[in-house]
Amino acid sequence: MSIRVSHLHGAHVAVDAPNGTEIFRYVYRPDPDPFESRKPYAHPLRTLAGRTVTGYRPSDHRWHKGLQMTASHLSGQNFWGGNSYVHGRGYLALPDRVGSMRHDGFTAFTAEDERLALTEELTWIENGGREWAHEVRGIDVHSVDETIGAWALDWSIRLTNTRTEPLAFGSPTTAGREMAGYTGLHWRGPRDFTGGRVLAPGAEDTGAEKLMGSQGPWLAVTAEHDETDGHSTLVFAHAPENLHGTSAINESHWFVRAEPVPTVAFSWAFFQEFTLEPGESFGYRYRVVVADGAWGRDRIAAHLEALPW
């Protein structure tokens, strides 16, 4: 049996698994509130059993929307959304600092029996309307396996500085807030994932606090859902070149919390700012595996090994 891909033009792209469950929806229409940083997002993500594993506009952070590409501190602008961190003053509502990402179109769109692959062109726009960067984004839904109860999402970015000045990428930590280095591709989990188990390779039950700011090829979160009597596992993994510096210009670190809110980000500027000169580009590739059940380290490692890049 095949996956089913639907496209509501101007709004979203969705993927249904062979069992009829909508497992993926990519929303690219503009968000209604500019303070939340208008940009595309993936929500809902669901397991093959139909359990939702992304949160959308939670009461604590309305700008958290499923899985999104972000930049919390970019040359004085906020492409994360919501309040901006200012050293010595804390988080402030500064609407004139919140930027946006404009969907310019899909330049490739391939729907096959077992895979959806699309290429999207976007423009990053600062709050005053100036175009700062051009992004080529890749989205790939694949490896839907009902036998093992898992599927995979690959997300890539290649960003080019189109302004005449350098772009400086940072985070709240580079701005002075300790261990708050969030930026980059960001997942917000649903309430069910609060207090979930956080795993990484080569260690026992390390937990979110010890893994915050760490580095590694993958990180996973497992949680038990309300109502449905079942667990889900999300695995966040780097492509090999992310860790070896062949395409990325800055080392990545994990931003991860299980409490008070469940969240993971592939942070590209956790501890140090980096600069993208005019005309220069950088790129990263990421993978998210969405699985039913509470997977352990050995199963996660074996599954990732079986999914070639």
- pTM score of the predicted model: 0.97
Q: State the Cα–Cα distance between residues 116 and 48, nearest whole angstrom.
A: 16
pLDDT for residue 1: 76
Task: Compute the residue count for the chain.
Answer: 309
Q: Which of 34, 73, 36 is nearest to 57 (CA)?
A: 36
Distance from the first to the final alpha carbon of the chain: 24
For 158-182, the DSSP string reads EEEE-SSS-EEEE-TTTTT-TT---
Count of beta carbons in the 10 Å neighbourhood of residue 276: 22
For 29-41, the DSSP string reads SPPS-GGG----E
pLDDT in tens, the chain (309 residues): 799 999 999 999 999 999 999 999 999 999 999 999 999 999 999 999 999 999 999 999 999 999 999 999 999 999 999 999 999 999 999 999 999 999 999 999 999 999 999 999 999 999 999 999 999 999 999 999 999 999 999 999 999 999 999 999 999 999 999 999 999 999 999 999 999 999 999 866 678 999 999 999 999 999 999 988 899 999 999 999 997 765 567 789 999 999 999 999 999 999 999 999 999 999 999 999 999 999 999 999 999 999 999
pLDDT for residue 204: 66
pLDDT for residue 243: 79
Count of beta carbons in the 10 Å neighbourhood of residue 1: 11
| 153 phi, psi to nearest 5 deg | -125, 120
Q: Are strands 116-125 and 131-145 parallel, antiparallel or unpaired?
A: antiparallel
